[in-house]
Amino acid sequence: MDDFGLLNPAWAGTRAAELTSDSAFGQAMLDVEAAWCRAQIRFGTAPATIDDAVAAASHIGNYDLGAIAAQTPDGANALIPLLSALRDNVSTHQAAAAQYVHRGATSQDIIDTALMLVASRAGEHILTNMKTAVRQLSATATEHAHTVMIGRSLDQHAQPITFGYRVSQWVEALGSASQHFETVVDKLPLQWGGAVGTSTWWVDYFKADQPEADPMELVNRQRDLLAQELNLVSAPVWHANRVPVLQLGQTAFQVTAAAAKLANDVLTAVQAENAELTEPTKPGRGGSSAMPHKNNPVLSIRLKHAAQEASGQLNTLQTGIISNTAERADGGWHTEWSALRGLLRLTGAVSEILVELTDGLEVHTKAMRHNLGIHGNAVFLGRLTQWLAPIVEAHGAAEPGSGKRLVESISTTAMANDDDLAQALVSQLPDGVVTVKAIEKILDPSGYTGGAASIVAEVHSRYRKWSS
């Protein structure tokens, strides 16, 4: 039985699905066991002659994952049946080598470390994609730093912005979330402490073998070699401390949440009544089985789907972690596994989708300009009254504090009658108060975008080096 993702278009067919598959996790467990044997060899606690036998037995393709899964409930984790099969396999190559496999370790050491190994491999994939997506978006933001469009607040037309400014906010969210995730991925910890995290087996071993030495110093040195083999951090034992898992899951979710913001904006912009953006197309994508005229924005839909599912996975992960008890949680620890895998898988899929979406997103500036004009000069009424009211009062055309009401009255009447607003204000205010040219300048949307272009430049500068 395989899960190909037929009910999960967010990640089906992605590289992320491969990197987080059962095969990938099984291989990670084998990689940890093999690395532990190599660490023992390097430290002098195992003979070099076992290396080839262990290496030959450490390929997941040689194992029946269906059979291992069927046996998993008997021990409540997959390492127990896999380890039995691994030892049998190693013995076929060299009988004496099997005794060094898993020596002094426990299931939690292997499973936790294997999950960190999967996270490391998936994390590299995710970060490569996120840097590409941020770089592509930053280029789009720079290109459209002065492309004026209507801003939207509470789903209603607000003040003008630039499309570059909107994209810069996508860049800021995705860039900062990815950097948080990167910080965690760069410090993924090895888990290695034996049955209850105290390294009892190895402490006893070193007390007998090297009684003059500090046994924990030797334990830590051997653990350091294992961390080197796996390219993980040789961290203090965290058997009963699940914060490393929590940090990983939460920062992965930040990436999917940031992507959802972009997706929501694109989904609004591609609607026929807005038509400001178009997703990149390819044959066979976005069609409807019943409505041939449709071009469904499936990339953004998949991003939104992924984020919504990831929210549930994060909740499950957190539920497992808050169920943590004693030196190994009864059920809470088990709850973490699939939830963490799901978060990594979804985040990886999101990163792949973003690369494609941000590379081919089509921008329709004419539609943006058209939508900006839907409410005519009403969009600028607040700016107009704020600027003109004190001038009107200074010229004595209105009592102090009443200039705003006068400007609003003249303006709303002119707009209701579809009159030229600038001409109406000039003609109804005393001579010399204001000119048509000055009013038209206030009504020019390109001058009403605040610091949008500067913000675009700041964001580009902030993430340029990181994403290159």
Q: What is the pLDDT of residues 37-59, one digit of tens each?
A: 999 999 999 999 999 999 999 99
pLDDT at residue 86 is higher than 80: yes
pLDDT confidence of residue 294: 64
pLDDT at residue 342 is higher than 80: yes
Q: What is the pLDDT of residues 91-141, one digit of tens each?
A: 999 999 999 999 999 999 999 999 999 999 999 999 999 999 999 999 999
- In this prediction, residue 281 has a pLDDT band, given cuts at 50, 70 and 90, of confident
Six-digit token string for 96: 């004496």
Strand 277-278 with 362-363, pairing: antiparallel
pLDDT at residue 228 is higher than 60: yes
- In this prediction, residue 284 has a pLDDT band, given cuts at 50, 70 and 90, of low
Q: How many CB atoms lie within 10 A of CB 387?
A: 16
Six-digit token string for 36: 């532990």
pLDDT confidence of residue 5: 93
Residues of the chain with pLDDT > 90, as a percent, come to: 95
Q: What is the pLDDT of residues 157-174, one digit of tens each?
A: 999 999 999 999 999 999
Six-digit token string for 438: 């000055």
> What is the rounded average pLDDT of the residues 187-214?
97
pLDDT at residue 286 is higher than 80: no
Catalytic residue list contains 328: yes
Catalytic-labelled residue, pool 84, 288, 427, 454 = 288
Q: How many CB atoms lie within 10 A of CB 268?
A: 15
Query: Cα dist. 417→77, 397, 444, 452 in Å?
Result: 75, 23, 21, 33
Residue carrying structure tokens 């009988």? 95
- In this prediction, residue 3 has a pLDDT band, given cuts at 50, 70 and 90, of confident
What pTM was estimated for this model as a whole? Answer: 0.95
- Report the chain's terminal Cα–Cα distance, integer Å: 41
pLDDT confidence of residue 167: 98
Coil vs helix vs strand at 158: strand
Long-range (24+ apart) CB contacts under 8 A made by 335-340 are 336/242, 336/245, 337/111, 337/115, 339/249, 339/313, 339/314, 340/115, 340/119, 340/245, 340/248, 340/249, 340/313
Catalytic residue list contains 120: no
Strand 156-162 with 362-363, pairing: unpaired
Q: What is the pLDDT of residues 374-433, one digit of tens each?
A: 999 999 999 999 999 999 999 998 999 999 999 999 999 999 999 999 999 999 999 989
Catalytic-labelled residue, pool 103, 328, 462, 464 = 328
Q: Does residue 303 contact residue 353 with C-beta atoms inside 8 Å?
A: yes
The residues near 171 (Cβ < 8 Å, ≥ 6 apart) are 134, 137, 138, 141, 459, 460, 463
